[in-house]
Structure 1
Amino acid sequence: MRRSADVDELERVLCAALGSAEPVCSVAQLLPEADTFGAPGPSALDPAALKRPTLVAAGAPYGPTGPAPSPYAVDELVRRAGALDVPQILVPRVRRGEDTGALRAAGFVPVAAGHECVVRLSGEVDALLRDRVGAGQLRDLRRRHRAVSQDVTWERIPLSELDGKPWARRAFVELHQRSAERHRGQENLYNAEALDALARGALAERTEIFVRRRKNAVVQAGLLTVSHNGRGLYYLTQAVAHDDPAAPRNLYVASLYRLYLHARRSGLDWVHLGEGDADRMRRLGADLFVPLDHWLRAPAPAAARDRAAPGDGERERERAGQGERAAEERAPSRFAAPPVATVPAPGPVRFRHRPRFDLVDLSSNTNPYLGTASHYPELDTAELARTYLSTLAKLPGHEGVGALSTDHLLFTSGAVDGVMALLMALTSPGERVCVTPPTFELYAHFAHVLRLPVVEAPLRGDDLCGLDTERILAADARVTLLCDPGNPVGTRLDRARVRELVERSRGLVVIDEAYVEFSETPSYAGLTGEHDNLIVLRTLSKAWGLASARCGVALAHPGIIEALRRVQVPFGFTNASQRAVRNRLTNSRPVLAAVRRIRAERDHMAATLAQHPAVERVFPSEANFLLVRLHEHERVMDHLRGAGILVADTARLVPGTCRLSIGTRRANNALLAALSSVGTGPGSPGPAGPGRAR
């Protein structure tokens, strides 16, 4: 919980559970996952630390996370431990990205602790879950809910009324005691004393006990607490009767679904599920995953003390793939423009790893009376970045992507936003930008807007895919922009020449891979971890079918990503776009199937158009479009417009051509029919289009 009064209250409850005046116990007693603390790796701890008497800070063992302690609070913890003669201190479940400088300075060591998982309720529950987990998983949730609800009741009892329901109190304590016994000696934090302390304290007015009964037997009991900002619900705990026919998974899943319905009807925005496995919780509807660390101050071994030096633990976790450094700690690339290198990231960007869902946010000057649309978009997209990278790594031709961390990725408002951002962040007045026409026109357009000289190194060969490496290198450009597959042609560049350019160039090489999913030639995305002068731009507008979501991706060295953050508009990636991207990435089968259909339709159209009398040439393509040279370009284009068919006129880039996007079979047949009615030879008048004079 995010305010000190709640944290202090939960500490009082913890003391009641332990039967002591101070929250002192062993780590192994307190946390069920404690046996993993000694696993090999950078955060491995002395096994003796698991059994040593430990002063436990705050009440975070109960589920919700508290804020990272201030320097004053850390000093007070150290003082208390000394007065109690307790050799070890544990600050459990601190959100990664919070200011942990005081903990480091006092010798605390971070230990990865998984994620806290949140279900954000942005609309009708079934529609939301269908998009988030898929229709099949939603059917399973609803089936379990119906099966359980047939003979198991659902009751919520305010803690203030618990004295009048002794059966509920008794059942809650008994079920949690059995749960603790199944966890091999874990302390029961929800014994009778703890429950009574909670019912007598300040949290009682916001907390309910829920019970589910089959006839007169209680088969599940748990606690729900409304957040102090009134916007969400903490699912503090639950225990089930494992000998019940519906236990354990059916009861848990059915109760979660019931809880979502209850929270939405109550006008709440989110349900906090506590700590859990991100993949499992995602299947249950969670869409916000905040990485956590336990922080431990132990007297030994020396290796642990060495790791507590500022920055060391963070770098070790980064190498181990366990987390990312906070934005304010990262230095920009050597390629950053001097003004960008000397200014900090804007305030909202610096704090992007600090979720606001459970805070009273009075910092943003927005209208509080018009619902969730008045809230600024979430800036912490680390979990979404992990989802993107893991999805990409599974696709053919994406070797090396799995080795990238979220520090290598920035979401942009479409790939074109990435082009503008990188030119702003990585160039200075007078530095050259090299483009390779025919290519995407906005590259040169943005460069001209920023008053950067543009040098051209035209593509060569009949297929317009020959890269003039020597001419590009001779230009000595600060930034070279390549489009691969090319737009408007659709061909791929020679891979050996591209790699040679990256390795020999003194400047930055940017590869726009907007159409790469339609190609069988590998992506360059994985190489961004090997070259600090390589930037790969991707988009979800094309193959992923999310043009309206405006989501682009920049992949590059972390220092380059940091430079881009410093010039990017902080809130350009909306919550609606984030939800659409997350849902699409976690349900990629339809995307891959659609890509296969587009490839097949592209090949069919290429073969058909190549035989058409109105077409002079069809260029080879590894994209979702075809570049076609027409015999009578202007007359054909005029006829297509009259037939209500819109294609891209690319004659100014490649004389006599147009670019045809691959549509559905019906749309493609309409195009072929319109072309067939143009006429078959030079000078043919062709039939009049609809509505035109004869």
Structure 2
Amino acid sequence: MFDLQHILRENIKNLVPYSSARDEFKGDASVYLDANENSFGSPLNTNYNRYPDPMQFKVKQRLSEIKGVPPRNIFVGNGSDEAIDILFRAFCRPGLDNVITVPPTYGMYEVSANINDIEVRKVRLTADYQLNIEGIAEAIDDNTKIIFICSPNNPTGNSINRTDIETILANFNGLVVIDEAYINYSRQKTFIQELTEYSNLVVLHTLSKAWGLAGLRLGMAFASEEIIEVFNKVKPPYNVNEASQQLALEALQNIEQINDWIRLTVSEREKLSSDLRNLEIVQKIYPSDANFILVKTFDAKGIYDHLVSKGIIVRDRSKVELCEGSLRITIGTPEENQSLINNLKTFSVQK
């Protein structure tokens, strides 16, 4: 059975979190002399002279309305990367514990593990980019604290079999982190609705992809109230700035615009995949539930260099295991996608 206290680091159990001025007083007042702020204002003629809400209550309230999850089950951070880092710092003992990743996958799990001196045990996906359940089971020991699963996966684009994820959730006594950065483009439903069923589940979302707010650096973690309390205990006091909170609230009112963009992106994904299949330089188009496609080619480096010379930048993933010879291509606007195809045809003619 999953026991949060069993996997939580002892120093985190005993940690007394920093108490900020905005934690100690909540409400409205006419004179604020408690936080050593600049009382004369800001050169920007805004309220940026005041510290932001440390718990981002208004943002969480709006996210709660959209996601159908109570605010107490939501952590808002400086990108999903902050949530990933907190998971290591709260639950993994440096030099002792380990986590499992399933490459090819998002590289920040391993980078954050290395920063925190945590062993990474890699269990490669199968040839069709699905979980190796037996391999994962063999890699688990008493010091395995977290399993990271990205679905839809980056860089492959496919969704991970839901039954396989549920098998791991039901049988692993540590945390299972499902990174759903690209879930808005997927046919598969989110695992957020399973939070009440699995106490060891953490789901990561972001406003960087479908919501078009990559420059704001806002990510979310959804988990049990007890796990979210740990996140809030460990995070810096003002981890999300006031400008990001205000702009996020404004953006979160525009759901119809986002849904229109999602529909257009999915439509363009199918059209671009079809157009690419007709090119002689393309070997395979991998199935995608994301806003990008992984394309296996006969000359990944040559095609990449050719596109760079035309001012078109894609991602060369040919050195990533199980992605040999492949380019990762983000779905652009219809005009950008057509420009890509036109320039790939030029490369094909030259070769």
TM-score (norm 2): 0.91
Contact 1:333 1:562 in 2 (8 A): no
Change over 3 Å in CA distance of 1:507–1:350 after alignment to 2: farther
Which residue of the partner structure matches residue 474 of structure 1?
138
CA drift of 1:436 comes to 0.4
| Secondary structure, counterpart of 1:347 in structure 2 | coil
Superposition map of 1:155-554 within 5 A: 334-348=6-20, 351=23, 354-355=25-26, 357-358=28-29, 360-371=31-42, 372-392=47-67, 402=68, 404-429=69-94, 430-461=96-127, 463-464=128-129, 466-476=130-140, 477-554=144-221
CA drift of 1:517 comes to 0.5
User: Which of residues 260, 272, 284 is equivalent to 1:617?
Assistant: 284
Contact 1:333 1:563 in 2 (8 A): no
- Equivalent position amino acid for 1:661 in 2: T
Q: How far apart are the structure 2 equivalents of 1:359 and 1:342?
A: 37
Q: How far apart are the structure 2 equivalents of 1:669 and 1:333?
A: 54
Contact 1:514 1:537 in 2 (8 A): yes
| Secondary structure, counterpart of 1:346 in structure 2 | coil
Contact 2:279 2:348 in 1 (8 A): no
Question: In the TM superposition, what whole-angstrom CA distance separates every residue of 1:507-542 from its partner, at most 9, and x where no partner exists?
Answer: 110000000000011110111222221100000110
Question: In the TM superposition, what whole-angstrom CA distance separates every residue of 1:137-196 from its partner, at most 9, and x where no partner exists?
Answer: xxxxxxxxxxxxxxxxxxxxxxxxxxxxxxxxxxxxxxxxxxxxxxxxxxxxxxxxxxxx
User: Which of residues 262, 269, 275 is equivalent to 1:608?
Assistant: 275
CA drift of 1:375 comes to 1.6
CA drift of 1:356 comes to 5.4
CA drift of 1:349 comes to 9.1
| Secondary structure, counterpart of 1:594 in structure 2 | helix
Change over 3 Å in CA distance of 1:531–1:334 after alignment to 2: farther
- Equivalent position amino acid for 2:40 in 1: Y
TM-score (norm 1): 0.47
Q: How far apart are the structure 2 equivalents of 1:453 and 1:603?
A: 39
| Secondary structure, counterpart of 2:234 in structure 1 | coil
Question: In the TM superposition, what whole-angstrom CA distance separates every residue of 1:456-508 from its partner, at most 9, and x where no partner exists?
Answer: 111103x31x1112221222221111100000011011111100100100111
Which residue of the partner structure matches residue 638 of structure 1?
305
Runs of 4+ in structure 1 over 6 Å off: none
Q: How far apart are the structure 2 equivalents of 1:383 and 1:579?
A: 9
Contact 2:54 2:239 in 1 (8 A): no
CA drift of 1:359 comes to 5.1
Which residue of the partner structure matches residue 342 of structure 2?
673
Superposition map of 1:73-222 within 5 A: none
| Secondary structure, counterpart of 2:188 in structure 1 | coil
User: Which of residues 584, 587, 594 is equivalent to 2:251?
Assistant: 584
- Equivalent position amino acid for 2:343 in 1: A
Question: In the TM superposition, what whole-angstrom CA distance separates every residue of 1:549-588 from its partner, at most 9, and x where no partner exists?
Answer: 2110100111111111122122121222112222222221
Contact 1:514 1:538 in 2 (8 A): yes
Contact 2:283 2:298 in 1 (8 A): yes
| Secondary structure, counterpart of 2:327 in structure 1 | strand
CA drift of 1:641 comes to 0.9
Size of the aligned set, in residue pairs, is 338
Contact 2:101 2:120 in 1 (8 A): yes
Question: In the TM superposition, what whole-angstrom CA distance separates every residue of 1:221-255 from its partner, at most 9, and x where no partner exists?
Answer: xxxxxxxxxxxxxxxxxxxxxxxxxxxxxxxxxxx
| Secondary structure, counterpart of 1:363 in structure 2 | coil
- Equivalent position amino acid for 1:358 in 2: A
Q: How far apart are the structure 1 equivalents of 2:33 and 2:244?
A: 24
Q: Structure 1: where are the runs of 5+ without partners?
A: 1-331, 393-401, 685-694
Contact 1:438 1:488 in 2 (8 A): yes
Q: How far apart are the structure 1 equivalents of 2:90 and 2:74?
A: 15
Q: What is the root-mean-square deviation of aligned Cα atoms in Å?
A: 1.8
Contact 1:333 1:560 in 2 (8 A): no
CA drift of 1:455 comes to 0.2
Q: How far apart are the structure 2 equivalents of 1:608 and 1:557?
A: 44
| Secondary structure, counterpart of 1:532 in structure 2 | coil
Q: How far apart are the structure 2 equivalents of 1:551 and 1:501?
A: 28
- Equivalent position amino acid for 1:668 in 2: N
Q: How far apart are the structure 2 equivalents of 1:540 and 1:366?
A: 30
Q: How far apart are the structure 1 equivalents of 2:255 and 2:20?
A: 31
CA drift of 1:680 comes to 4.3
Q: How far apart are the structure 2 equivalents of 1:649 and 1:550?
A: 24
Which residue of the partner structure matches residue 228 of structure 2?
561
Greater RCO, CA 8 A, separation 6+: 2
- Equivalent position amino acid for 1:659 in 2: R
Question: In the TM superposition, what whole-angstrom CA distance separates every residue of 1:58-108 from its partner, at most 9, and x where no partner exists?
Answer: xxxxxxxxxxxxxxxxxxxxxxxxxxxxxxxxxxxxxxxxxxxxxxxxxxx
| Secondary structure, counterpart of 1:554 in structure 2 | strand
Q: Structure 2: where are the runs of 5+ without partners?
A: none
Q: How far apart are the structure 2 equivalents of 1:668 and 1:383?
A: 38
Contact 1:333 1:558 in 2 (8 A): no
Change over 3 Å in CA distance of 1:359–1:480 after alignment to 2: farther
Contact 2:58 2:249 in 1 (8 A): no
Which residue of the partner structure matches residue 189 of structure 1?
none
Question: In the TM superposition, what whole-angstrom CA distance separates every residue of 1:566-623 from its partner, at most 9, and x where no partner exists?
Answer: 2212212122211222222222110011100000000000111111112111111000
Contact 1:490 1:620 in 2 (8 A): yes
| Secondary structure, counterpart of 1:627 in structure 2 | strand
Percentage of pairs with the same residue: 28
- Equivalent position amino acid for 1:556 in 2: A
